[in-house]
Amino acid sequence: MERVAIIGASMTQFGQRDAWICELLAQAGQECLEDADVSPDAIDHLYVSNMASGEFEGQTGIPNALAHDLAAMPAYTARIDQTSSSGGAGVYAAWQSVASGASEMTMLVGGEKMTHRTTAEATDVIASITHPVEYKHGVTLPSFAGLTARLYLETYDAPRESLAKVAVKNHKNGVDNPHAQFQKEVDLETVLDSPIVADPLRLYDFCPITDGSAALMFCPESVAQEYTDNYAVVSGVGGATDTHVVHERSDPTTMRGVVESSQQAYEMADLGPEDVDVAELHDMFTILEFLQAEGVGFFEKGEAWKAVEEGVTERDGDLPINTSGGLKSKGHPLGASGVAQVYEIYKQVLGEAGPRQVDADVGLATNVGGFGNCVSTTILEGN
């Protein structure tokens, strides 16, 4: 089977945007067409990754609206929803559309518009991901994060400061990302003194509520070579679920979906965690960066916090994580986040990441839905 390539990418400014979902999608889509130098006529499939345009804005059918706005008709369209991992699921779907031969040119656009809703409203929409047996007790995703953070710190004798250092690192990276919601460093004291949200986690342990969109262009490698000499190959993809009912997990500090999906991606790519040069992990909460860094095999179980303490995951460390700023400072527009993760890896393996550039031939992105309920992992290599 021919390999699947990515030949173009774009992302809008993340943050509070005075534009509705269809405008955000159209902006990223148009910029991706230009980046890839592809005509809208050439698009066979147009996927939109989005969790909740109906709930947030009362608008559905947004892939059709996008096909219209980009003049991409009669391209086939669909919306791919896997809650907060919709972007990663969209990457998996786009890969399948090309690998199956159904499409010779697939554009994926992920996006979400959330900031016009109050924090309580947005949190409630997101909490509708949780299983009703937990939701009815008032459980939200931040509460799972607090419980798991406490368990992790106690089980592995990790200092509270190690979590805060994830936030400090990712904010530092975000300063060099012009698309990030926050381009501003924070110091350890600011994180540790911020208001408690879900003990032991505080405000700066959480990603913000964000509007934004990102896009990627996929095609077979032979088609890619007609467009450019400089493309990335999707060498591994994988996806898996963990139980939807979090309290049924025997060890909440192990994210089974992360473990399974990364193993699938490594197997397809014929690579292992030791081959990865740069990674984007789904740091919706600081604790998730530890759980995922261990889940994808970068560090032994209970050891990820040491890597942060020792600077291993800094941009000048041995294994840079979240060079984009991560969800923490770049922002987390649900359906866009997984697409934007792969955008960052694409830029890194092509050597086009500007001031954020690290030495990277192989990059990995892991996108997590709910509290690890559904996970997609993508591995890219430069050509």
The site for its own copies (CB under 8 A) is made up of 1, 22, 45-46, 51-52, 54-55, 58-61, 63-65, 67-68, 72-83, 89, 92-93, 95-97, 99-102, 125, 128-132, 237-245, 256-257, 260-261, 369-370, 373-374, 376
Q: State the nearest-atom distance from the C-beta of 106 to its own copies, in Å.
A: 10
> Based on CB atoms, which residue is closest to its own copies, 63 or 142?
63
> Which tokens hold the place of 310?
């020792």
Q: State the nearest-atom distance from the C-beta of 93 to its own copies, in Å.
A: 7
How far is Cα of residue 207 from the mean position of the Cα atoms in its chain?
A: 12
User: Containing H/E element for 88?
Assistant: helix 86-99
Environment class of 18 (CB within 10 Å of its CB; exposed 0-12, middle 13-18, buried 19+): exposed
Q: State the nearest-atom distance from the C-beta of 216 to its own copies, in Å.
A: 17
Contacts of 3 (CB under 8 A, 6+ apart): 220, 221, 233, 234, 235
Q: State the nearest-atom distance from the C-beta of 104 to its own copies, in Å.
A: 13
**Pair 256, 242: CB distance under 8 Å:** yes
> Based on CB atoms, which residue is closest to its own copies, 54 or 302?
54
Q: State the nearest-atom distance from the C-beta of 39 to its own copies, in Å.
A: 16
DSSP letters spanning 350-369: HT--GGG----SEEEEEEEE
Strands 45-49 and 4-11: what pairing? unpaired
> Exposed e or buried b for every residue in 159-194, given b needs 16+ CB within 10 A?
eeebbbbbbbbbbbbbbbbebbbbbeebeeebbeeb
> Based on CB atoms, which residue is closest to its own copies, 83 or 115?
83
Q: State the nearest-atom distance from the C-beta of 110 to its own copies, in Å.
A: 13
Q: State the nearest-atom distance from the C-beta of 70 to its own copies, in Å.
A: 11
> Based on CB atoms, which residue is closest to its own copies, 73 or 358?
73
User: Containing H/E element for 93?
Assistant: helix 86-99
> Based on CB atoms, which residue is closest to its own copies, 51 or 350?
51
Give φ, ψ of 180 to 5 degrees: -70, 150
> Based on CB atoms, which residue is closest to its own copies, 22 or 336?
22
Q: State the nearest-atom distance from the C-beta of 35 to its own copies, in Å.
A: 23
Whole-number Cα distances in Å, 337 to 272, 366, 372 = 24, 10, 15
Q: State the nearest-atom distance from the C-beta of 130 to its own copies, in Å.
A: 7
> Based on CB atoms, which residue is closest to its own copies, 196 or 245?
245
> Which tokens hold the place of 359?
């030495």
Q: State the nearest-atom distance from the C-beta of 101 to its own copies, in Å.
A: 6
**Pair 5, 219: CB distance under 8 Å:** yes
Residue 346 half-sphere exposure toward CB, CA atoms < 13 A: 27
> Which tokens hold the place of 22?
């269809």
> Based on CB atoms, which residue is closest to its own copies, 102 or 188?
102
> Based on CB atoms, which residue is closest to its own copies, 91 or 308?
91
**Pair 142, 198: CB distance under 8 Å:** yes
> Based on CB atoms, which residue is closest to its own copies, 58 or 195?
58
**Pair 269, 379: CB distance under 8 Å:** yes
Q: Which letter does DSSP use for residue 195 in this model?
A: P
